[in-house]
Structure 1
Amino acid sequence: MPENGNIPRVTSSDHKGAAVLATTLVMLGLRDVVISPGSRNAPLTIAFAGNPLVRTHVVIDERAAGYVALGLGLESGKPAAVICTSGSAAINHGPAIAEAFHQRTPLISITADRPTRFTGAGHGQTVSQQGLFNAHTVFNATIDENEISESEIASIASRAWTSANYGGPAHLNLPFEEPLYGMRLAEVKGEEMESLERSESDFTIPVILKERGTRTLFIGGPRNCRDKKERCSVDGIAGVFEKFSGITGDSIIESSELFPDNIEHTPTAVVTMGSPIMSKRLRKQISKLGVPHVHVGNDGEGWDMFGLLETTVETEPIEWTRRFIREIEQEEAFVEQFRDEKARLRRVHQELIKDVEWSDLLAFEIILRTVTDDRLHFANSTSVRYAMLYESEKHRVFHANRGVAGIDGCTSTAVGHALALCRIAENKDNPKSVTLITGDVAFLYDINGLASVQEVPSNLKIIVVNNGGGDIFKWLDGPEKTGLLDKFFTTKPKTSIKAAAHFCGVAYFCAEDLESTEKGIGDLGKIDGAAILEISTPPEISAITYTKYLRELRLTREHE
């Protein structure tokens, strides 16, 4: 602040709803705002773009914009805001909001609206936007500047910020009367306002675990961004923690698909952390056990994925686990069987991978062995499943949009995360990199994550494993029997990855075997700017190799 005490003033909107909302959110700590062009949201654009504390990102496609904002929040754990005009543009925030809700990642969607009297009256770009995302938000409100005071607007903004910070998306809908482009001067204050914080962590061990927890099975899905800063190791417990949980240990299996069918010492209780696990098979196994389930974490009420949830402990999960280990002695034979199983999986994997011919399985082995970046994103479908089959460096942070687990938004989310790393880097010319590993269908589905982003981050690298369509449908028991597999399920894309890269103005490399893949990954790391490496794999061989690999892992277990 200037020594003479004069408060700096900047250009803002003359709509008080936009001006007060922007000022309040920035004072609370908002720093990144994703804006999609439009007229009805002009007051919001003017208010945020005029604030020197805000970094704005322009993304034309509102669906991609929502995911970019989600990605921006991954590193800091604070929400980014995403702004759009009215009508179908607002609805297009829906997929990212649903993902943030189930992922429990902070996000604030701000949609401009036409005055409420126009709803249902046949006006263009007008839909019913009030309460549009009620089922998938932790807070939502309409701010009608003609009906409420500035202090009420500030209060709503504060509640939205606090709710989103607890983990999840907030939605604010603002109707604006014309004219929309008026401006006025507004004050810029240099200190952040205080926002409500979570209560102190409760490390209490529930009674049900004290009574029945001597053989507790820990299960971890992807943890929210506040918990998962770096990967960590926890020993002394038996568990299945998927790679995206960020938790490992000497008796922790890192793929829910590899949980043993039959174990000698069965669990007497289950503790979950993070989002639900990927494996339907494991969910069914646990449900049949009928043992008590406790959820632990800073992510709100646990998902009752087994139909056995007893209670939720809202606390920091790693410290709680370490206290649990000290207080509830685990039966050594129970833990040891998981330690032995992990060692067996490692040994068998190393033997099997030696004889694997060129396929997705071998391509992913090379990728995870060769890529050095410590922020790895994986698209849903096949990529995310292959990621869990391989051990990796403990410092790496893995991310996938496993909330709703759709293929939409995977590229856009990685773009947002890369932009966040650019912002926080001390050396602006050398931020940490984000590498996205994706498939051909997932990449082309979310092509607007690159094509409609006006600022493609230079620290983003993309590896597209192209197996000629939705290869995951060849793993499933059903699609091939219909006779409709190729046309309606695997559905090979018509657009080439090379053409898409050229369209987006991104450097492109290709590889088609082990040697060229290793070289391509090396070349990818040398590029100063965003780049794409396409790795072509044979679809039929890849599907057969994957199913054979899993079968061999399980057969070996039975024969030992």
Structure 2
Amino acid sequence: MTAYSQPHSSQPIAEAIVADIAHYVDDVVICPGSRNSALSLALIARPDVRVHVRIDERSAAFLAVGIARVTGRHVGVVTTSGTAVANCLPAVLEAQNAHIPLAIISADRPDYLVGTGANQTIEQRGLLGLETYDIADQHDLGDVFQHHQQVHINVRLAAPLVEGLPQPPQPVVKIPTPTFIVDHGETTIDLSRRTLVIAGDEAWEVPGLEDVPTVAEPTAPAPYHPVHPLAVQTFTNEYAEYTKPEHIIVVGHPTLSRDIMELVADDTIELTILSKTTQVTNPWRRNATIATRVWVINEPTADWIRICAAATDVAIEKVRTVLADETFGFTGLHVAAAVADSLSTNDYAVFGASNPIRDASLVGLPFQAVDTFSPRGVAGIDGTTSQIMGIALAAQAQHPTEIRAPRTLALIGDVTFLHDVGGLLTPDNSPLPENLTIVVANDNGCGIFHALEVGDPEFQPSFEQAFGTPHNTNIAALCDAYGLEYQQVTTLPDLILALDDAAETTGLRIIEAVTTRATRAALHHQLSH
């Protein structure tokens, strides 16, 4: 044995590591590669791990994030060495910022080959911005999974990489995933003051705040006294002396509405921020009380409840008026309204991080008894289709005895769809979603920019090239290439019929709703005035 030999062959090391990992994961996504051969074979042999296969590591990692959003358990992603590992970084960033458990398990060459010019010998330690557990021998990974929500396990494997098919081992006992909750303590809230709750992503039902008027983003729990996001205009108008909140309580990670963010920035309003993680949402850099739990005294006044309800009624009527105005044409907002109307109890809903989640907020989400997801950790559009697939797969896995898998209904934009169209690719022998409908609101480009500063007339000479980015992609042909059921609609009544049909069937289908973005700026102006 020379100084350049690994003391143990790769296969026993891989099998021992996989046996450890099996205690902490139910699902693993593997990607084809040579250096990770022993890890992949060991996982496929196990009866206690669901194995998914993806050919693209970025898609694989986002698929894992989608599964973990539903299960709350670590999901493993097994890659070969080199750039394969780097492709996991976007999903790691989303997992970190949305506090989702994720385990990247990268194969690597022995340490003595790193930096020598051999194939794929980049420095993988620290590549993902995580503490890296560098393993070249059998290792107990219990402490790793118990103390880290996102983990990077880098396994050094030397030739020979495989020595025959592993024998199926006995299933192991599954160990629960820790909650990773950070307790910031308790604060006292006087509800007799005009108090408004802003509930964002990662919000929870806070005991004591059930009766407080609440602006809830679609991924938050549905409140008892909902306040429409457009209603915040009432709190800043000429009557604000009588309608402005005296105290705002931020729960979780709200990001969607500029009007809401500007309201919270008002330093004449007392601010309390509730969080269960190390991250505290305070982009305003305001002095605020930070807590996790509340002790309430008194109750919201009847006048404050009426003010919030009246402002919400006005906002809802404004949205209805816009949706009924035929001069706006068939827009993404109309698509979101149809999707929302199609949701039923126990459905899973997913909305893209651009216009769809904002439109969903305007048309009334969140709903009771509908689990709603959106990639709001970093709020990127990348990997969305893969996450949708993961959410649908996890939803059906949680109901294995039901004749029909729970329905997952997703709404994304065309650019989001195209950015991760590879997420639709599921190799043979991997689980497929059994009841998933993805609605693609196709306005041939980036409609969200019409409502931002660059949508102003002075930027129009450069707008389409830099921001609108029309692509004229044939989505029907893409769906045909992936062998997916596809339907195109161009009107709201046709979309409603397509959604009704989809609710009565199973399988994976794509509904392309061809919309316009030409009226997006005018629509946004109408809603905000």
TM-score (norm 2): 0.87
Assess, with a 3 A threshold, how the Cα gap between structure 1 residues 60 and 429 changes in structure 2: closer, same or farther: farther
- Partner of 1:130, secondary structure, is coil
Which piece of structure 1 moves more, 298-307 or 481-490?
Answer: 298-307
Identical columns (%): 24
Match of 1:160 among 127, 144, 164: 144
Which residue in 1 is equivalent to 2:28?
33
1:37 touches 1:60 (CA, 8 Å); kept in 2? yes
Q: 1:141 aligns with which of 129, 132, 135?
A: 132
CA gap of 1:52–1:270, structure 2 versus 1, over 3 A, is: same
**Equivalent residue number for residue 218 of structure 1:** 197
Query: 1:388: which partner in 2?
Result: 361
CA–CA separation in structure 2 for the residues paired with 1:22 and 1:241: 41
Partner of 1:481: helix, strand, or coil?
helix
How far, CA to CA, are the matches of 2:177 and 2:434 in structure 1?
34
Is 1:84 the counterpart of 2:63 in the alignment?
Answer: no
Is residue 240–residue 259 contact of structure 1 (8 Å, CA) maintained in 2?
A: no
Find 1:169's aligned residue among 129, 132, 150.
150
Question: 1:340 aligns to what SS in structure 2?
Answer: helix
**TM-score, with structure 1 as normaliser:** 0.83
For the pair 1:180 / 2:161, whether they are aligned, the reply is: yes
Equivalent residue for 1:492, pick from 464, 467, 470: 470
Matched residue SS, 1:82: strand
Q: Secondary structure of 2:186's match?
A: coil
**Paired residue type of 2:313:** A
- State the partner residue of 1:426: 400
Unaligned runs of 5+ residues in structure 1 are 1-12, 315-319, 555-560
RMSD: 3.0
Matched, 1:458 2:431: no
Deviation at residue 346 of structure 1 after TM alignment: 2.2
**Letter in structure 1 aligned against 2:311:** E
Report how far residue 195 of structure 1 moved.
6.5
Pick the aligned partner of 1:279 from 240, 247, 257: 257
Q: Compared with structure 1, are the counterparts of its residues 198 and 406 closer, same or farther at alpha carbon in structure 2 (3 Å cutoff)? A: closer
Tell me if structure 1 keeps the 8 A contact 2:445–2:468: yes
1:61 counterpart residue number: 56
Distance 1:260 1:194 in 2: 45
Contact 2:318 2:527 in 1 (8 A): no
The residue type equivalent to 1:355 in the other structure is: D
For the Cα contact (< 8 Å) 1:367–1:521, is it kept in 2?
yes
Aligned partner (choices 301, 315, 339) of residue 345 of structure 1: 315
**Matches of 2:112 and 2:411, distance apart in 1:** 47
Partner of 1:531: helix, strand, or coil?
A: strand
Alignment of 1:398 with 2:372, yes or no, is yes
Matched, 1:101 2:59: no
Q: Larger deviation: 354-363 or 68-77?
A: 354-363
Structure 1 position 111, deviation (Å): 1.3
What amino acid maps onto 2:115 in structure 1? G
Identify which of 341, 358, 363 aligns with 1:369: 341
Deviation of 1:417 after TM superposition, in Å, equals 0.9
Matching of residue 502 in structure 1 with residue 480 in structure 2 = yes
Q: Which residue of 2 aligns with 1:359?
A: 330
Note the alpha carbon deviations across 1:231-256, whole angstroms, 9 max, x for none: 99964213322121123232433569
Tell me the residue number matched to 2:450.
474
SS in 2 for 1:33: strand
d(CA) in 2 for partners of 1:51 and 1:141?
25
CA contact (8 A) 1:251 1:335 kept: no
Shift of 1:213: 8.6
Q: Is the 8 A contact 1:19 1:47 kept in 2?
A: yes
Q: Deviations over 1:279-311 (max 9, x none)?
A: 234323322325554332433342322212545
Corresponding residue for 1:10? none
Count of residue pairs the alignment pairs up: 509
Q: 1:143 to 1:267 in 2, by over 3 A?
A: same
Matched, 1:550 2:527: yes
CA distance in 2, matches of 1:400, 1:460: 16
Cα shift readout 1:210-244 (whole Å, capped 9, x = no counterpart): 6x9934432111117xx59xx99964213322121
Quote how far apart the aligned CAs of 1:47 are. 2.2
Could you say what secondary structure the match of 1:289 adopts?
coil
Whether 1:241 aligns to 2:216 is yes
Within a 5 Å distance, the mapping from 1:202-217 to structure 2 comes to 205-206=186-187, 209=189, 214-217=193-196
8 Å CA contact 1:35–1:83 kept in 2: the answer is yes
Question: Which residue is 1:529 aligned to?
Answer: 507
Deviations 1:157-178 (A, max 9, x none): 22332245xxx42222222212
Q: Residues 4-57 of structure 1, C-alpha deviation per residue, up to 9 Å, x if partnerless?
A: xxxxxxxxx9545433332122223x1100111111111221222211100100
Matched residues in 2 for 1:215 and 1:206: separation?
17
Decide which structure has greater helix share: 1
SS in structure 1 at match of 2:219:
helix
How far apart, CA to CA, are the structure 2 residues paired with 1:232 and 1:531? 40
